[in-house]
Structure 1
Amino acid sequence: MKLQTRNLTHILTSLLLVLCAVSTTAAQDTGVLILAHGGSEEWNDLIHEAAEPLKANHKVEVAFGMANYVSMHHGLKALEEQGVSKIAVVQLFISSYSPIIEQNAYLLGKRDSLPETPMPLMHHVDEYKEMMGIEEEETAGHHGGGHRFYMPKNLQPIPLEAEVVLTPALDDHPVVAEILNKRIQELSSDPANETVLMVAHGPNSEENNKKWIDTMESLSQKIQSTQADNGTPYKQIFALTVRDDAPEPVFEQAKANLRTLVRQAGQNGEVIVVPLFLSSGGREQAVAQRLEGLDFEWSGKTLLPDPLITDFIQKSVKAGFAEMN
């Protein structure tokens, strides 16, 4: 009997070691590529800091840019060169309703065509041409806003050896609602008497803008539900986009709508304005500048820095690999 017990113990121990080895190998076999807009050194550092904890279990790379072929290519190849065969691509963008998200999907082979309005290369233009063997100077490009825009004539998906899963943008994820409510609470003293304006950048197209607003209103409902559970909801929450990159008449109308809403809400209570931007880089401060001369509470704090963004990345990776398996 003792011999049988020793043999059983030996078998179980061996099995446990094998399972641990398989688990370790599986973790080493997985990679994470984080996509984000990119900005100043401080902006980019906040993304790297949010991604750092994932390195305990996965190889991690970050690709900055708006669906930039070169930065995405480098990030994916860096992971493949480290022996990664499965990659979760996490999109740290505010909304899924954008040509950036559509082009990300195309470049990763998850969509058959480019978006109706493709995203040009704003960085790494010469490197792209060298990668593709383009010698002649194509005319599909221009300079603007300090950037050199270049739209390849025949942009193709990135060649991949690893299996890739693409996870959704931030959208109305509960983590986003929780962070936004923290930002609001820092400015709040009497919720029942406060109108909150949640303000995001927004897209150019009317169709996508409606979807942005719908998603933001979903965030508003989550925030109000939390407030109700904890005592007092806010008087009301409005969702708006400033549409900085839209044609001037659209931009001016968005600006007028924002000012009008702040002015009217302020006649019957306090007004809190919170930016729905990923990281601090100047764009969010333009919201406050647009409201010059009006009374409202404002901190300018964006989603980052906040450890909950790391939670979002981790949850996205877990869901992505579960979908893949």
Structure 2
Amino acid sequence: MKESLDMLQGGSGASGQDHGLRQGLVSEEAEFTREPLSADGPRRPGVLVISHGSPDGHWVKLVDEAVAAVKAGLPGGLPVEASFLEIVDGRLIQDGIDRLELEGVTDMIVIPLFMSSGSTHVDEIAYALGVKDTPEKETDLEHFRLSARVFFGEPVDDHPLVAQMIWDKVKPLSREPEREALLLVGHGSRHDGFRQRWEQGISSLAARVKDISGLAVTDFALLNPDSVHKKVTYWQERGYEVAIAPLFLSAGYFTKKEIPSRLEGLTYRYSGEALLPHPLLPHWMLDQILHIMRSMKL
């Protein structure tokens, strides 16, 4: 267990500002492993991490590495699967469910590895898993075949660890924080209800980043509906130098193509770095998993 915790704390990118957050989780994990809860009792818990999926093998590899770090930090023998909503053949959500149930899992902790509770994908996955009776938006996703009880977690939204990850990624771009505006750019949604949840979560996340960074301004923009060019122009006209932080799980089409295309003709700083890789993302998942496991009646 100690080696797995050391691994989660290590790696480049994490700054000293998140030391207290990491230490709190490490203490919780250590305490948890001393408790009598077993992964091999009459009811058997398991973990299913669900993300979108990508044709980019490196995108998938980064997710797999984060999930492997989570598995290393959990009690030995507890099954963990990483599955994808689409694209990654042989590793779709039903494939992950089937593998966990073949290992005897009766209580399935599902971590939706998406950036916002405003994602329509989170809504349709919850519906297809039987967590909710009807989806808020029409979906082609049918109910999955499963027998296990489902304990559905939370997407990223505005977790303090995520704010620290974002600042760790963009801090090298900062030269004069008192003259800089950081713009968090997320996917967003055009659908009522979902758009508002996107805005609420990313706005709160931007405020958290401001609290830990010392930047003069932190704000957000969405690709859907598009407000990126407008927001950059707004802050530049007020004399700020603008840096862009993509709020995406892993680098891919949106970070490499879509965001830069919305910024044509503007002056800005942009590393293109998504959340992964970062050692705090496994901690964020572990935090949820351990909390849910404590609430279970096994």
- Partners of 1:48 and 1:63 in 2: CA distance: 9
Q: After alignment, is 209-218 or 50-59 more displaced?
A: 50-59
User: Residue in 2 aligned with 1:38?
Assistant: 53
* 1:14-53 alignment runs, 5 A limit: 23=38, 25-26=40-41, 29-39=44-54, 40-53=56-69
The one-letter code of the counterpart of 2:69 is: P
Give me the identity figure in percent.
Answer: 29
* 1:240-251 alignment runs, 5 A limit: 240-243=221-224, 250=225
Residues 1:282 and 2:253 aligned together: yes
Q: After alignment, is 89-98 or 284-293 more displaced?
A: 284-293
**Partner SS state of residue 35, structure 1:** strand
**Partner SS state of residue 161, structure 2:** helix
The one-letter code of the counterpart of 1:271 is: V
Structure 2 counterpart of 1:181, from 163, 167, 189: 167
- Deviations 1:164-211, CA, capped at 9 Å, x for gaps: 201011111111111111122121011110011110111121432122
Residues 1:234 and 2:235 aligned together: no
More contact order relative to length (CA 8 Å, sep ≥ 6): 2
- Partners of 1:172 and 1:20 in 2: CA distance: 30
**Partner SS state of residue 290, structure 2:** helix
Gaps of 5+ in 1: 1-18, 122-154, 228-232, 244-249
Structure 2 counterpart of 1:73, from 56, 80, 94: 94
User: Residue in 2 aligned with 1:319?
Assistant: 291
8 Å Cα contact 1:99-1:117 kept in structure 2? no
| Number of residue pairs the alignment of both structures matches | 255
- Partners of 1:114 and 1:71 in 2: CA distance: 20
The one-letter code of the counterpart of 1:298 is: Y
- Partners of 1:283 and 1:290 in 2: CA distance: 10
**Partner SS state of residue 188, structure 2:** coil
- Partners of 1:114 and 1:168 in 2: CA distance: 16
RMSD: 2.5
1:50 Cα deviation (Å)? Answer: 0.2
Quickly say closer, same or farther: Cα 1:202–1:74, change in 2 above 3 A.
same
Q: After alignment, is 306-315 or 201-210 more displaced?
A: 201-210
The one-letter code of the counterpart of 1:282 is: Y
8 Å Cα contact 2:181-2:217 kept in structure 1? yes
1:27 Cα deviation (Å)? Answer: 12
Residues 1:259 and 2:229 aligned together: yes
Gaps of 5+ in 2: 1-33
* 1:26-175 alignment runs, 5 A limit: 26=41, 29-39=44-54, 40-56=56-72, 57=75, 58-65=78-85, 71-118=92-139, 120=140, 155=142, 157-175=143-161
- Deviations 1:239-296, CA, capped at 9 Å, x for gaps: 11111xxxxxx5xxx2xx4223223322402111111011111111211222122111
TM-score (norm 1): 0.72
8 Å Cα contact 2:86-2:92 kept in structure 1? no
8 Å Cα contact 2:49-2:111 kept in structure 1? yes
The one-letter code of the counterpart of 1:98 is: S
1:35 Cα deviation (Å)? Answer: 0.3
**Partner SS state of residue 274, structure 1:** strand
**Partner SS state of residue 221, structure 1:** helix
User: Residue in 2 aligned with 1:270?
Assistant: 241
Considering only CA atoms, is the larger Rg found in Structure 1 or Structure 2? 1
8 Å Cα contact 1:198-1:273 kept in structure 2? yes
TM-score (norm 2): 0.78
